[in-house]
Structures are given as C-alpha cells and as structure tokens.
Amino acid sequence: MFGDIIRFLLDITFTLFGAVLVLRCWMQLARVHPRHPVTHSVIQATNWLVLPLRRVVPGVGGIDWASIVAAWLVAIVYLLLLALLSGLNLATFLPAALGLALLTVLKWGLNLVVWMTLIQAVLSWVNPHAPLMPLLQTLTAPLLAPIRRVLPLLGGIDLSPLVLLVIAQVALMMVARLSISLFGFY
C-alpha cells in the first residue's frame, strides 16, 4: 500500500510539472501574450529548469526546445524513480527510459490537449465569457480549425471539440500500446 501511495504521488507531481513544461512550449507556439496571468505563472514555475537549458538548447522555428528537453528530462527522472520503486535495475533500465521518456512527454501533451478541450467545451456551455476562454481558444484553435473545415456545424452545434477529444484519446491508446510493445512498460 505504501508503494502505491508513493507511486500515486510521483505520478501526480511529475505529470503536472511535465504538462506545465509542455504547456509552456504550446503557449509560445500559439503566441499567447507573455503578460497573461496563466502564462506568467507557467513561466515562473518552470524558469528554474528551462532558463539554464536555453543556454544549451536554443529555440528553433518558433518552438521552445528547451521546454521540451526539460519535459523529457523530467520524464526520465520520473521513470527512473518508478523503476526504483519497482525494484528494477536502473543501469539496465536507463536506455529504455530514454525512449520511454519521449513517449511519456507525448502522453503528457495529449492529455493536455484532452483537458484543454474539455475545459473549453464545458466553459462554452456554462460561462462562455469566462476570463480563461480567450486563452483556451488561442491554444486549441490551431487544433480545431482543420476539423472545423471538414466537419460542418450540426444544427448550430460545433462538434469539432468532440472529434478532437476522440482523436487525442485514440492517440493516447496508440502511445500506450507502443510503450508496452517497445519497452514492456507504461
């Protein structure tokens, strides 16, 4: 039971921090204003790790690669801690952890897409003028736009968030299957 509690706490802590690092990259890619309160909070929470990495890993093509590398490093630490808890030999698990960490970062990003889309959909029904809505729309618009071009409104209802949720869930299933088939670990 104690091991399950530790595993749960590690999962929550590392998943939230990893998702914030992916969100930092996503916000820069979507060109969210740096003075937005959420952006400011994300930057403040991650600067301690991202800024030193920026000296080594520059941003290219508008992508904040330092944030992605930081998320990958966080995923490696997370996986090594899980392996340690499971009693695996860290030296033999490390090569697999390097590749599995990439899939973990992808999983964090896909989960972020799911949550942002869900929150935006619920807020659009409950409080479409919520202060968080412009940020959510800015982040999800590039993902929803291609779906909206293909899928027309159905009786005035936009089903594109539902389609995006289904696509993200299918992608999460594929990442899980790939993790298990390549590394025997998820």
pLDDT along the chain (186 residues), means of 10: 92 98 96 91 97 95 95 98 92 93 98 97 93 95 95 87 97 95 78
CA distances to 27, 128, 146, 168 from 124, in Å: 20, 4, 20, 20
Per-residue confidence (pLDDT) for residue 35, from 0 to 100: 86
Cβ of 161: how many Cβ atoms within 10 Å?
20
Per-residue confidence (pLDDT) for residue 1, from 0 to 100: 83
Per-residue confidence (pLDDT) for residue 31, from 0 to 100: 93
Per-residue confidence (pLDDT) for residue 30, from 0 to 100: 94
Per-residue confidence (pLDDT) for residue 183, from 0 to 100: 80
Per-residue confidence (pLDDT) for residue 162, from 0 to 100: 95
**pTM, entire model:** 0.94
Per-residue confidence (pLDDT) for residue 58, from 0 to 100: 92
Per-residue confidence (pLDDT) for residue 153, from 0 to 100: 82
Distance from C-alpha of 174 to C-alpha of 32, rounded to nearest angstrom: 30
Q: Which residues partner with 60 through β-bridges?
A: 63
Distance from C-alpha of 45 to C-alpha of 29, rounded to nearest angstrom: 18
